[in-house]
Amino acid sequence: MEEKKGEVVLFRTWASPICTRVEIALKLKGISYEYVEEDLTNKSELFLSLNPVHKKVPVLVHNGKSIAESLVILEYIEECWNTTPKLLPEDPYQRAKLRFWANYYDQKIVPSFYIIIVSKDKEREKAIED
Ligand SMILES: N[C@@H](CCC(=O)N[C@@H](CS)C(=O)NCC(=O)O)C(=O)O
């Protein structure tokens, strides 16, 4: 069940597995949000004002306040919507295992994903295999 905590907007781009991570968290917690597709080849002034340091998606805007960096956003979501299903398990060992796979996703899956969508031939085949 959704907890009413105000307006949530997610600036993302469809081809980003990093953004998908935030979207999964929002869906898991049943949080309603507006999706704004940002064109990374022509970033809007609004978007640049929301993440002036890194200028990257994802950016979460909650009640007019912006939060950048996907892992920071996940922690914010967990802290703000703390009565909905937990993103992290209680048990420290289970947490460690989850962090291991989250790190694996960042180190292995995300780079391969970008190679798959932009490369051809052998490089692409290798990324698929990886
Ligand atoms: N460490 C950042 C990485 C975010 C990131 O790399 N976003 C990419 C899309 S996946 C981006 O916005 N790239 C646009 C750019 O670098 O100009 C996070 O976890 O949020």
Kindly give the number of the ligand 1 atom that is closest to the alpha carbon of 68.
20
Task: Report the DSSP pairing between strands 8-12 and 34-37.
Answer: parallel
Q: How many CB atoms lie within 10 A of CB 51?
A: 19
**Residue located nearest, by CA, to atom 12 of ligand 1:** 56
> Which domains are seen in the chain, by residue range?
8-80 (3.40.30.10), 92-129 (no CATH)
Determine if ligand 1 sits within 6 Å of the CB of residue 12.
Answer: no
Residue 120: predicted pLDDT: 85
Short-list 3, 44, 55, CA closest to 26:
3
51 lines ligand 1 (CB under 6 A): no
State the virtual CA torsion across 63, 34, 74, 130 in degrees, nearest 10. Answer: -160
Convert the pLDDT of each residue in 13-52 to its tens digit. Answer: 998 989 999 999 999 999 999 999 999 999 999 999 999 9
Q: What percent of the chain has pLDDT over 90?
A: 70
Instruction: Kindly indicate the confidence band of residue 4, based on its pLDDT and cuts at 50, 70 and 90.
Output: low
SS3 27: helix
Answer whether 57 contacts ligand 1 (Cβ < 6 A): yes
Dist. CA 7 → ligand 1 center (Å): 23
Distance in angstroms (rounded) separating the CA atoms of residues 67 and 73: 6
Separation of CA 47 and ligand 1 centre (Å): 13
> At 11, is the secondary structure helix, strand, or coil?
strand
Which atom, in ligand 1's list, is nearest to the CA of 57? Answer: 12
Q: Is 73 in the pocket of ligand 1 (CB under 6 A)?
A: no
Give the three-state DSSP class for 52. Answer: coil
Going by CA atoms, what residue is nearest to atom 1 of ligand 1? 69
58 cis-preceded (ω within 30 degrees of 0): yes
Task: Quote the CA–CA distance of 3 and 14 in Å, as a whole number.
Answer: 26
Q: Is the pLDDT of residue 114 over 60?
A: yes
Tokens for 39, please give them. Answer: 């064109």
